[in-house]
Chain A
Amino acid sequence: MKKLVLARKFSQALFLSLFICLLWLTPHTAAFFKIDPLVSIFSLFSLMMLGATFIIGRFFCGWMCPLGTIIDACGIKSKNRDTGIFRNIKYFILGIIVIFAFIGIQIAWIFDPLVITARFLSLNFIPSFTLALDKAFIFLIKSLNFYAPLYDFYRMLKLSALGTKIFYFPHSLITLSFFVMICGLALITKRFWCRVICPLGAIYSAVAGFSIVSRRVDKCVNCMKCKINCRMSAISGDMSYKKGECVLCMDCIYDCPTQGTKFGLPATPARPQAKDSITRKDFLFLIASSFIFLGFKGREGPLKKRLIRPPGVKNEHEFLNKCIRCGNCMKICPTNGLQPAIFESGLAGIWAPHLVPEIGYCEYNCNLCGKVCPAGAIPRLSLAQKKEQKLGAAVINKFICLPWSQNKECIVCEEHCPVASKAIKTYEEVVAGKKIRKPYVDISLCVGCGICQNKCPTRPERAIKVLP
Chain B
Amino acid sequence: MDNRKEGKGMKKVSIFERLPKRKITRKGFLKLCGIGAGSLALNSVLFKFAFGQEEASSGRPGKKIKGLHDLVVAKGEDPYAMTVKAIEAMGGMGKFVRKNSIVLIKPNIGWDRSPEQAGNTNPYVVGALVDMCFKSGAKRVNIFDRTCNDQKRCYENSGIEKIAREKGANVFSPDDWNVVKAKFNYASPMEGWPIYRDALECDTFINVPILKHHSLAGLTISMKNLMGICSGNRGLMHFDIGTKLAHLTDFIKPDLNVIDAYRILKRNGPSGGNLADVVDMKTLIVGTDPVLCDAYSCVLMGREPSSMSYIKQAVKYNIGKGDYTDIAKSDILTINV
Which of these, A139, A417, A419, contacts B51 with CB under 8 Å? A139
Which of these, A155, A164, A421, contacts B152 with CB under 8 Å? A164
CB nearest neighbor in A for B112: A365
Given contacts A365-B157, A421-B268, contact A409 B172 (CB under 8 A): no
Which of these, B150, B170, B268, contacts A363 with CB under 8 Å? B150
Question: B38 interface residue, CB < 8 Å from A?
Answer: no
Given contacts A416-B148, A437-B215, A456-B235, contact A364 B178 (CB under 8 A): no
Binary contact readout A406-440 vs B (1 if CB under 8 angstroms, 0 otherwise)? 00111110111111111000100000000001000
Q: B274 and A159: CB pair below 8 A?
A: no
Within 8 A of B (CB), among A365-390: 365-366
Question: A276 interface residue, CB < 8 Å from B?
Answer: no
- Count residues of A near B (Cβ-Cβ below 8 Å): 38
Interface of B, helix, strand, loop or mixed by DSSP: loop
Q: B216 and A437: CB pair below 8 A?
A: yes
Within 8 A of A (CB), among B234-250: 234-236, 238-241
Min Cβ gap A132→B in Å is: 13
Which of these, B50, B215, B274, contacts A420 with CB under 8 Å? B274
Question: A138 interface residue, CB < 8 Å from B?
Answer: yes
- Residue numbers in B under 8 Å from A426 (CB-CB): 215
Q: B236 and A457: CB pair below 8 A?
A: yes
Min Cβ gap B98→A in Å is: 20
Q: A412 and B50: CB pair below 8 A?
A: no
Q: B150 and A335: CB pair below 8 A?
A: yes
Question: A28 interface residue, CB < 8 Å from B?
Answer: no
Which of these, A138, A410, A421, contacts B50 with CB under 8 Å? A138
Which of these, B153, B215, B240, B241, contacts A365 with CB under 8 Å? B153
Question: A238 interface residue, CB < 8 Å from B?
Answer: no
Min Cβ gap A436→B in Å is: 11
Question: A152 interface residue, CB < 8 Å from B?
Answer: yes
Which of these, B155, B171, B238, B277, contacts A409 with CB under 8 Å? B238
Which of these, A158, A365, A416, A457, contacts B173 with CB under 8 Å? A158
Question: A455 interface residue, CB < 8 Å from B?
Answer: yes
Most buried by B among A142, A411, A415, A419: A415
Question: A135 interface residue, CB < 8 Å from B?
Answer: yes
CB nearest neighbor in A for B214: A415
Question: A402 interface residue, CB < 8 Å from B?
Answer: yes
CB nearest neighbor in A for B148: A416
CB nearest neighbor in A for B51: A138
Question: B334 interface residue, CB < 8 Å from A?
Answer: no
> Once bound together, how far apart are the Cα atoms of A363 and B113, in whole Å?
12
> Once bound together, how far apart are the Cα atoms of A418 and B154, in whole Å?
13
Q: B178 and A142: CB pair below 8 A?
A: yes
Within 8 A of B (CB), among A351-369: 363-366
- Residue numbers in A under 8 Å from B150 (CB-CB): 164-165, 334-335, 363, 366
Given contacts A139-B51, A363-B153, contact A421 B215 (CB under 8 A): no
CB nearest neighbor in B for A164: B151
Question: A444 interface residue, CB < 8 Å from B?
Answer: no
> Once bound together, how far apart are the Cα atoms of A410 and B273, in whole Å?
22
CB nearest neighbor in A for B233: A457
Most buried by A among B113, B170, B177, B214: B177
Question: B53 interface residue, CB < 8 Å from A?
Answer: yes
Pairs across A and B, CB under 8 Å, 10 listed: A138-B51, A164-B152, A164-B173, A365-B113, A365-B153, A409-B239, A412-B238, A415-B238, A418-B273, A437-B216
